[in-house]
Amino acid sequence: TGGSPSLRSLPGPPGNDGPGMGAHRGTTEDKEWIPVTKLGHLINDMKMKSLEEIYLFSLPLKDSEVIDFFLGAFLKDESLEDYACVKQTPAGQKTRFKAFVAIGDYCGHVGLGLSAPRR
């Protein structure tokens, strides 16, 4: 009681909706999308109007901008697991951190990712 506010009431960084809620999305500048693949050109010409049409014809998604075009504002991501992997080498131990992430729009579109960057 008194002068110090609780940690829950303190504002976080701008654009941060909490842990795993797509905090890095929405902070990028709006750039003009220049399609590279055939699918990108079909979407840009409005010949493909939904992700379901892309799935129906089993077209490969090679541009991340395709997902941003259809679901950009609705995407949420959540880190499912972060852990360290230690490998023994002749020179000593090598530590790598792995992350398993799920991303989706809460309407049936889900993506999973595994990343192992070196630190």
Concatenated DSSP letters for 6-61? PGGGS--STT--STTS-TTTT-S--------SHHHHHHHTTS--SHHHHHHTT---
Model pLDDT, residue 64: 84
Q: Which helix (H) or strand (E) holds 64?
A: helix 64-71
User: Quick check: 71 and 103 in contact, CB under 8 A?
Assistant: no
- Cβ proximity of 63 and 42 under 8 Å: no
Global pTM value: 0.56
Distance set, CA 9 to CA 5, 6, 23, 35 (Å): 7, 6, 18, 43
Q: In the numeric block, which tokens belong to residue 51?
A: 């992700």
Give 10-residue mean pLDDT values along the chain (119 residues): 44 49 54 86 90 90 87 89 90 91 91 80
What pLDDT, on the 0 to 100 scale, is given for residue 119? Answer: 56
